[in-house]
Amino acid sequence: MAQHPGKAVRKVVIAGGGTAGWMCAAWFSKILRDDIDEIILVESEEIGTVGVGEATTPYIRVFNHHLGIDEDAFIRATQGTFKLGIEFVDWGRRGHTYHHPFGATGREFGSLPFHAIWLRDVLERGGSDDLGLYNLQAMAARRGRFMRPQGQNSPLAGIDYAFHFDAGLYAQTLRQFAEARGVRRIEGRIETVELTDMGNIRALQLNEGRRVEGDLFIDCTGFRSLLLGEALQTGFEDWSHWLPCDRAYAAPTRRAGAPAPFTRSTAMTAGWQWRIPLQHRDGNGLVFASPFLSEAEALDGFLARLPDGRLSDPKLIRFRTGRRKVFWHKNCVAIGLAAGFLEPLESTSIMLIQNGIARLQYYFPDTGFDPADIAAYNRAMSREYDDIRDFLILHYHVGERDDSEFWRYCTGMPVPDSLAHRLELFRSRGRIPEERGEQFRLNSWLAVMWGQGLRPRSPDPLTLSLDGDGLSQWLGDVREVIARCCDIMPAHEDFILRNCRAAVIQRQ
Ligand SMILES: Cc1cc2nc3c(=O)[nH]c(=O)nc-3n(C[C@H](O)[C@H](O)[C@H](O)COP(=O)(O)OP(=O)(O)OC[C@H]3O[C@@H](n4cnc5c(N)ncnc54)[C@H](O)[C@@H]3O)c2cc1C
């Protein structure tokens, strides 16, 4: 049956004012300015936000840029620092460290991917197996350096980066932006969700008898998923059997030393610990799997490892890894934690919020809520969550760690077919096929598969006829260019002090 076109959506209601809610409000207040009558955001200070989420991926720059937010002003306002990637300590095996850097690794070699050439040199000729030497972001991270892209025809022109920031301050910045563009904020607790006979959401009932009607509802209520999950009863796909971490303790400490331009993730006996440098403090957190480590044991270990200068008591956050079976149902779209959560190992949540927003803009509905648009949105978002899920499982599944029940479980567990297939392809001839639209591309898969210790049985056959000495020489040149570029980059701290200093940087 043909779908009748509806009327224009005139009123958008955003439920929740965490990072997701205010990102939606800021974006749609700019994009829909001339198309709708009103955007209302309902939030409850009493309930509060999840209060973590300090590391990002480079896509956030696109979001801020489209809003017209000046980058230095944003860094100052959020106590931000720059991030060139993630350093993984003790992951593939104890005592081993590798970087998952942003940006390009190596450079083009005719029609062959860089890593095929490099693998030939490593596997057949004993060349350097230090992949980081071929990535400017990895080298700069190791040496504590940072600058923005500069010039042309050099790796310096392609520097790729993200940020660490105080998520609460980011939400405040976005709130100012959105309210200045007419978003109306209502302080109140959502008590019930009123549905029509057709199962659409008609209104939110708040405490003190208030009621908020709307055409389109965006559920940003966090883990509660009050609208899409609770009221509309869309099921949840639980991925805890693949990603068993389900708890975190987080606590800030006084800044110690110059801020590193990367997130550090250190593997522990039943999870991992993060360290995120901001300008005014360091963020620390322990992510762990409660079936393998009790909350009490986790807290003891976390406190024992915390550096001096704790600024608040550790906060415990309980979560479940997985996603909603659908993200958009009827007239309700869930974005942020209300849509699902993949643990923070690769800092993907804010990126998923951003992509949810971009897709909602693309498929923006009228009141007919055409099922074809909804299905396309759900398909694209599901695929994105599934791809990231596979990438995260890779970190746990591949590696030599067998020193705890947790690691034995992770390295021995069956993984999704989609991941098993990728691992087998790399094991065979080092191939990493790129799927369209994936957030983590060839260089990311390469860095983590190699870093975790996965090795191909033999190189790409098309590299075998190439002159080995010539290849070694060429690889040496690539390394040298990267090292020379790194030499001229300033220290990360100096770059911040010169361009976007937020406050006096405290030293221990
Ligand atoms: C341990 C941990 C570490 C993380 N680290 C990162 C990271 O490094 N990078 C990253 O990108 N992401 C990270 N995340 C995810 C990140 O925190 C979230 O994606 C982000 O904060 C968005 O959260 P949210 O806005 O969806 O939910 P929340 O922050 O929980 O906000 C929910 C909102 O809904 C409101 N609300 C709820 N119920 C009601 C009600 N009944 N009535 C009215 N209002 C209500 C709340 O008041 C709040 O305003 C991390 C998450 C965890 C758990």
Segment 75-86, tens digit of pLDDT: 999 999 999 999
Residue 284 in contact with ligand 1 by CB distance below 6 A: no
* Amino acid 230: pLDDT: 98
The CATH number linked to 354 is 3.50.50.60
* Amino acid 455: pLDDT: 97
- State percent of the chain over pLDDT 70: 98
With respect to residue 504, please indicate whether it lies within any of the assigned structural domains: no
Q: Is the model's pLDDT at 475 over the cut of 90?
A: yes
* Amino acid 54: pLDDT: 92
* Amino acid 2: pLDDT: 53
Distance from residue 51's CA to the centre of ligand 1 (Å): 7
Distance from residue 18's CA to the centre of ligand 1 (Å): 5
Distance from residue 50's CA to the centre of ligand 1 (Å): 4
Using one digit for the tens of pLDDT, what is the confidence trace for 83-96? 999 999 999 999 99
The DSSP string of 147-178 is ----SSSSGGGG---EEE--HHHHHHHHHHHH
| Predicted TM-score of the model (pTM) | 0.97
What lies within 8 Å, CB to CB, of 443 at 6+ separation is: 101, 103, 104, 105, 135
Residue 120 and residue 193 share a domain: no
Which residues form the domain of 401? 105-153+389-492
With respect to residue 83, please indicate whether it lies within any of the assigned structural domains: no
| Domain termination residue (choose one: 318, 333, 355) | 318
Q: What is the mean pLDDT of residues 485-497?
A: 97
Residue 344 and residue 200 share a domain: yes
Please state the domain count of the chain.
Answer: 3
Residue 263 in contact with ligand 1 by CB distance below 6 A: no
* Amino acid 287: pLDDT: 98
Q: Is the model's pLDDT at 507 over the cut of 60?
A: no
Q: What is the mean pLDDT of residues 336-364?
A: 97
Nearest CA, atom 6, ligand 1: 53
Q: What average pLDDT does the chain have?
A: 95
Residue 429 and residue 488 share a domain: yes
With respect to residue 70, please indicate whether it lies within any of the assigned structural domains: no
Cα(281)–Cα(283) distance, integer angstroms: 7
* Amino acid 53: pLDDT: 78
Residue 279 and residue 209 share a domain: no
Confidence of residue 5 (pLDDT cuts 50, 70, 90): confident
Q: Are 88 and 99 in contact (CB under 8 A)?
A: yes
Nearest CA, atom 20, ligand 1: 19
With respect to residue 85, please indicate whether it lies within any of the assigned structural domains: no
Indicate which residues carry an active-site annotation: 83
Q: What is the C-alpha end-to-end distance of the chain, expressed in Å?
A: 69
Strands 11-15 and 271-277: unpaired
Identify any residues that bridge with 145 across adjacent strands, giving them in sequence order. 491
Which of 24, 45, 47, 206 for mutating ligand 1's site (highest number of atoms within 8 Å of CB)? 47
Residue 265 and residue 365 share a domain: no
- State percent of the chain over pLDDT 90: 93
Q: Is the model's pLDDT at 204 over the cut of 80?
A: yes
Kindly give the number of the ligand 1 atom that is closest to the alpha carbon of 188. Answer: 43
Kindly give the number of the ligand 1 atom that is closest to the alpha carbon of 220. Answer: 26
Residue 488 and residue 394 share a domain: yes
Confidence of residue 256 (pLDDT cuts 50, 70, 90): confident
Strands 184-187 and 38-43: parallel
With respect to residue 223, please indicate whether it lies within any of the assigned structural domains: yes
* Amino acid 508: pLDDT: 43
Distance from residue 174's CA to the centre of ligand 1 (Å): 15
* Amino acid 262: pLDDT: 98
Q: What is the mean pLDDT of residues 263-283?
A: 97
Residue 476 and residue 397 share a domain: yes
Confidence of residue 33 (pLDDT cuts 50, 70, 90): confident
Residue 227 in contact with ligand 1 by CB distance below 6 A: no
* Amino acid 3: pLDDT: 58
Cα(32)–Cα(344) distance, integer angstroms: 31
Residue 396 and residue 484 share a domain: yes
Confidence of residue 434 (pLDDT cuts 50, 70, 90): confident
